[in-house]
Structure 1
Amino acid sequence: MTRPIALTMGDPNGIGPEITVKAYADPRRRPPVVVIGDPATLARACRITGVDLTVRPIASLADAAHAPGVLDVLAEGTLPEDLPLGTVDARAGAASFHYVRRGIELALGGEVRALTTAPINKEALRRAGLPYPGHTEILAELSGTSDYAMMMANDELRIVLVTVHQSLRTAIDSLTTARELEIIRLTDRTLRAGRATGPSGARPRIAVAALNPHAGENGLFGREDLDIIEPAVRAARRDGIDVSGPWPADTVFMRARAGEFDAVVAQYHDQGLIPVKYLGLEHGVNITIGLPFVRTSVDHGTAFDLAGRGTADHTSLLTALHHADDLSTQVPATPAA
């Protein structure tokens, strides 16, 4: 049996447990999977969704049976029975963090071939006293990674973000030429190495989206594109990277979708995520690039308003598992030194 993919069930009060059991039971799922989470919560998710699985707690990966109709769960802690669905709760936030931490440990040790994560809730993390705005920052810190970024991808677009989980004002203030160049270089290395979904080549074509409308119109609408982004693009080109821009953001994603570019570097969260999500949440996947292991995730949140109904769509999670399978097959994980 090949090494499994570790799948964290996400915030216990959101749709994570429900889409986890649905994806696990889906006949389209290819790779062997071990879930990290709470067995009782996952058993409740099976009842809610009508998924016919036997939830089987295990103490280690060696205990996994990978048997049909059996959900192997690495039990991480115990949740109280009165934890209410659809609510922000510090206990759920702390649990979701512990699941991710265990997954990172397994990935760094080479015990799993990839890590896929169901959604967590940022407010629940904060209530639990955990200073992380999201998965990306947890993964980077606990793996000791300093050069990393979030990539959102589907069959038509690959978007890498310069800034992620912060206000628009602070995102703009944090833009620097050094950071732009770091992201361009990381995007190029990732695509060359086949560490991202979709076609990769020896010299991928990278576009950089402008910050301001019309790329600033030569400084009429702000000088950030002239003073911060353009110097980074020029420096990357001197490195031999096929990169261009900054291009107006209202057309660059359309051009990438038409095949002109292999990836687009976006300046802030919504600039990059709106085009991907507009094409369909069920087709998108979140990939953390720069990590020493493959990590994928859904491109949606905890959806507390849907929790407990059994109707949440698990397609994005299934897509994330498939991409984790493909990427970890192309580039096997290496145990941390």
Structure 2
Amino acid sequence: MFESLLSELKPFYEVAVLSHIRPDADCIGAQSGVCSLLEAHDIKYTAFNEDPVPSNLLWMKHARKIKLLEPGSLQGFEAVIFVDGNQYHRFTRKGDLVYEGAPFMSFMIDHHPHPDTKFDVVCSDPTASSTCELIFRWFEQVGLDKLDPSTAQSLFAGMMRDTGSFSFENTAPETLKIAGELLRIGNFTPNEVVDNMADRTMGTVKAMGEVMQSVELTPGGKVATIMMTKEQMEYCAQFGEVETDGFVNQALAINGVEVALFLKESQEDDVRMSLRAKRDVDVNVWARDMNGGGHQKAAGAMFQGSLERAREEALEVGRRHNPDLFRV
């Protein structure tokens, strides 16, 4: 998959490396890995994200060098690597404003299903646990001597995030083998990564309290929803940065729940939805019905309208695909 990628990138004077909006450990870890690879091969680069890196991910290598993506940021770049997203809209809310006037060759590295065909070069494997796993494979092909301990720890964190600490169904024997190799190269222990990732601001803790008070179960108790209003977000932000990644897993942990939905009102007056599932439910098909997508057990979507209407729409989609979940 990566055999010719470096040779294709070397002719460019400078490469932009983008990770997706609302960054998480897999996208920042993978972006870190790409930057380290380019650096090791003397390829000049600049890393971008449209959102600030969450405070609990700033320990990752290169994370503090990531610049904010704005209209005009990509002008002058002849090549752009898109990391951990397979649709252009996953990288910006500003649409063509970011890409306008910036003709470039596009490279995509990702593990989500159904990649967009608009990218010039596609490195995609939906069977991989994470994009960080794919970046490790790239290091394997060019030589693991190029993989430094700090980058290894960043890649491990991304794999840990996307596998639910190696508990989700996407954790294959190869996943654990790679994780072990990262531990060996990085000379760290898993609890070091857990401690870094679990570092919460007071704003995040306040937000979790607000959100968990909203929990509702459908009749039968198999689908849980939690919600957060824009006003709640603004209130909690007074106490520090608010990072809601992982909140939906708290609802999924409720006894008897098979699917959990987290609906969050955004500053742009839309509703962001995170969907998680256990066992035999495919929430990716739910999300795709709402112009979103992701993986079988973890997906996301956006909805134009109120929180309550978004909840109704998501549950109606769920009833169509998995009526058994809604039977009492």
TM-score bracket relative to the smaller structure: under 0.3
TM-score by length of 2: 0.26
| Higher RCO (C-alpha 8 Å, min separation 6) | 1
